[in-house]
Structure 1
Amino acid sequence: MGSRGAQSSPPPQGIYVPVPTFFAKEGSANYDPISPPLDLDAQTEHSLFLVRGGIKGLVILGSTGEAIFVRNQERHELIKSQRKALDDAGYKDRPIIAGTASQNIEDTVELIKDSQAAGAEYAMVLGPGYFAPATSQVGLQKWFEAVADRSPIPVLIYHYPGVTNNLYIAPSTFEKLAQHPNIVGTKLSHGIIDDQTLIAASPRIDHDHFYVFTGLGQNLLPVLTIGGVAAIDGLAGCFPRLVVRLFRTYMDSSAKGTSKKDIDEMRDLQFRICEGEKLVAAWGVVGMKEAIARVWGIGSRTGGRLPLAGGFQDGEKEWAKWETVFAGLKELEEKFKAEGKEG
C-alpha cells in the first residue's frame, strides 16, 4: 500500500487458526536434532484439514508458528507452499495472514513485503516489547503507523503481552491506530475483558474497517457479544468445526433472533472449548502439536526446534491428564463433520 492511501479492507469475518509450523520427524531425511527442517507435507495436510472444517483463513508464523525460530528463507517457502496448496485444492478464497515478530520497523516491513511476495494477503504485526516498561503509548502509536505506512498489505495489530514483556497497548491507542487506512484490525491475546470491550464496542472506531479478533477461543462467546468479529484461535487448530460451530451459531441466532435454546447451546459449546483451551494455556505450541498428532495423526509430537523440541516433558503421564477431555472433543468434532454443516 505505502503511505496513507485509500482505506484497506479487513480480512473476512470467521474463525482463523494460528497454525503450528511442522518440522521433520526424527529419522526423516536431512533430520537435524538442533534445527529440523520444515515438514511441508504435514503442513499442507493440516492446512487442508482446517479449511475443510470451515476455517476462514490461516495465520502462518504467529507465536504458535514459532516465527522466532524460522529463518527468512524458510518463511517464504512455508507461506508460498501453503498458498499454493490452498489454491490447488480450490480454497483461493481463504486468506493467509503472515505474522511478524521483529522489533525494528525496517526489518518488519521487509518481512511483510517478502510475505506478500510468497502469497500472504495480510500481516499480523506483534508489538515491539523489548523495552516495554519504557515504551510510551505515543511511541507505540508512531511505531505501528510507520509500519502500516510502509506495508504493501493491510496490517493487524497483534497484542500478546505474554510474549512481549507485558507490553501494554491502551484502548485509547487502538482508537487512534484504527483511524489509519492500512490498519484493519487486531488480535487480542489476553483476557482483559474490559479492555476488549473498550476496543470492540468503542463508538470512536469504525468497526466496518477495524475488526477485533480474540486470540483466545475461551473468550469467543463473550467477545462476540461485545462487538468482536471472531477468533484467531489455537484450539481450532485441532477442532476446527467445534470453534466454527460456536461462531456460526452466534451469527445465525443474532440474525434470526436469539432464543434460550441458542444461548444454552452456545454456553455448552463455550464450556467444551474452555476445557480444551486449558491445554493450550498450559503448553502453548508444544501442547498443540501433541494434541494434533495424538488426536489426528498429523505431524510429530516431538517435532520442534530448541528449546521447544521434545514435546511434553513427561509424555504419557502428561497426556493422561488431558486424554478424556480431548477424546470427548474429538467425538463432538466428528459428530459435527457427519452433520455436514461446516467445511
Structure 2
Amino acid sequence: MQSLIGTGVALVTPFKKDFSIDTEALERIINYSVDGGIEYLVVLGTTAENATLSQEEKELVIKTVIDVNKGRLPLVLGVGGNNTLKVVEELKTRDLSQFVAILSVSPYYNKPTQEGIYQHFKAVAEASPIPVILYNVPGRTSSNMLPKTVLRLANDFKNVVAIKEAAGDIVQAMQLLKDKPEGFLVISGDDMIALPMVLAGGAGVISVIGQGFPKEFSEMIRLGLNRKVDEAFKTQYLLADSIDMIFEQGNPAGIKEVFQSLGIADNTVRLPLVSVDESLSSRIHEFVKKINKFA
C-alpha cells in the first residue's frame, strides 16, 4: 500500500449559506489539495460532517470527488459506524472500484469491549472487497482500540493493511510501530504528533490541517520520511499554532474558517456544529495572512 505513505487529507464537505452542498467549492478544495502536493484524498470521513449528510448527499460528494480528481490521486472512502450489519451491507453493495481502501472507524457510542471491536472489524474485513484502514479515535468513540486488538486484526486479516491512530498517545503509537507485522502501516490521525510518529517509523498522516496548508504540511511529512529532521521541525513549529486553532472550537469549524480566509469555501457548518466565534476567526485569518507572507 505504497499509495498510503505520506499525507492524505480528510476532505470537508463545503456548504452554501443555505446549508446545501457547494460542489464548486469542493472542486476548489480538491484542486488546492492536489496542487499542494498531498498524496491521497479521504472522502466522507468524520471531517466531512458525514453524520449530517443524507444518503443522496453522500452520493453527490462521492461523485464530485471522483469526477474532479480524474484519477490524479488515490482515493480512500470512509465506511464505518456502530451498526456492524449496516456497515457490512454497505461494503457488499457499494461500488468501491474507484477507491484503493476504506477507512473504518471503531464503533462509537456502544462502547464495545476489545473482543467486540475485534469481532466488528472481523466482519468488516471479511465483507470488504478492498483493503481496510482501521480508525482509532477514542475522543470521538469513547473507547480505545488497544494495540493488542489492532495487532490481532493485522495478523489475522491480510486486507487489514493500516491503522489511522488518533489516540493522541505517542507511546501507544510506538507500541504499534514496534510490534506491527511487516507491511502494516501506522498512520497518524493527529496533526500535532504526525511528524514525531513518522520519525518513529510511521507511514504518514491522514490530516485536517493538510488541506488548509497542503504545500507546507505535505512537505513536512516528506522531510520526516526522508529523515531531514531539522527542516521538518521548522515547518512543524511554523504550523503548530494553526493546528491548535482549527480544533479549538471543533472540527471542521476551524478548517472551514481557514478556507473562508483563503477564499476557497464558506465557513458554514451544519448543526449541532456552529461556526467559530469572532475571536478565533480573527486569529485564524491573521495566521493565514502570515503563512501566505511566509510562502
TM-score (norm 2): 0.93
User: 1:67 and 1:107 mapped to 2: Cα distance?
Assistant: 15
Residue 249 of structure 1: aligned partner: 223
Residue 47 of structure 2: aligned partner: 64
Tell me if the contact between 1:79 and 1:119 (Cα under 8 Å) persists in the aligned partners.
no
User: 2:127 and 2:2 mapped to 1: Cα distance?
Assistant: 17
Alignment counterpart, residue 15 of structure 1, candidates 1, 7, 25:
7
1:305 and 2:266 matched: no
Residue 340 of structure 1: aligned partner: none
Alignment counterpart, residue 108 of structure 1, candidates 76, 87, 109:
87
User: 2:93 and 2:60 mapped to 1: Cα distance?
Assistant: 10
Tell me if the contact between 1:220 and 1:270 (Cα under 8 Å) persists in the aligned partners.
no
Residue 325 of structure 1: aligned partner: 287
SS in 2 for 1:212: strand
1:139 and 2:101 matched: no
* Superposed counterparts of 1:117-266, under 5 Å: 117=96, 119-132=98-111, 135-164=112-141, 166-179=142-155, 180-202=157-179, 205-208=180-183, 210-252=184-226, 254=227, 262-266=228-232
Tell me if the contact between 2:220 and 2:236 (Cα under 8 Å) persists in the aligned partners.
yes
Q: Report the Cα offset of residue 276 of structure 1.
A: 1.1
SS in 2 for 1:16: strand
Q: 5+ residue gaps in structure 2?
A: none
The C-alpha deviation readout for 1:310-336, integer Å capped at 9, x for no partner, is: x12x33x3322334333222333xx3x
Aligned CA RMSD, in angstroms, stands at 1.8
Could you say if the C-alpha distance between residues 322 and 40 of structure 1 is closer, same or farther in structure 2, counting changes exceeding 3 Å?
Answer: closer
1:147 maps to amino acid: V
Tell me if the contact between 2:4 and 2:203 (Cα under 8 Å) persists in the aligned partners.
no
User: 2:67 and 2:92 mapped to 1: Cα distance?
Assistant: 18
Q: 5+ residue gaps in structure 1?
A: 1-8, 255-261, 336-343
The C-alpha deviation readout for 1:239-291, integer Å capped at 9, x for no partner, is: 00111111122233x3xxxxxxx432222111122221001221320011011
TM-score (norm 1): 0.80
SS in 1 for 2:207: coil
Tell me if the contact between 2:3 and 2:39 (Cα under 8 Å) persists in the aligned partners.
no
User: 2:131 and 2:176 mapped to 1: Cα distance?
Assistant: 19
Tell me if the contact between 1:125 and 1:156 (Cα under 8 Å) persists in the aligned partners.
yes
Tell me if the contact between 2:144 and 2:167 (Cα under 8 Å) persists in the aligned partners.
no
Q: Report the Cα offset of residue 73 of structure 1.
A: 2.2
User: 1:207 and 1:323 mapped to 2: Cα distance?
Assistant: 43
Structure with max Cα Rg: 1
Tell me if the contact between 1:122 and 1:156 (Cα under 8 Å) persists in the aligned partners.
yes
Tell me if the contact between 2:91 and 2:127 (Cα under 8 Å) persists in the aligned partners.
no
SS in 1 for 2:78: strand
1:289 maps to amino acid: K
Could you say if the C-alpha distance between residues 140 and 297 of structure 1 is closer, same or farther in structure 2, counting changes exceeding 3 Å?
Answer: same
SS in 2 for 1:232: strand
1:82 and 2:29 matched: no
User: 1:20 and 1:118 mapped to 2: Cα distance?
Assistant: 22
User: 2:49 and 2:40 mapped to 1: Cα distance?
Assistant: 18
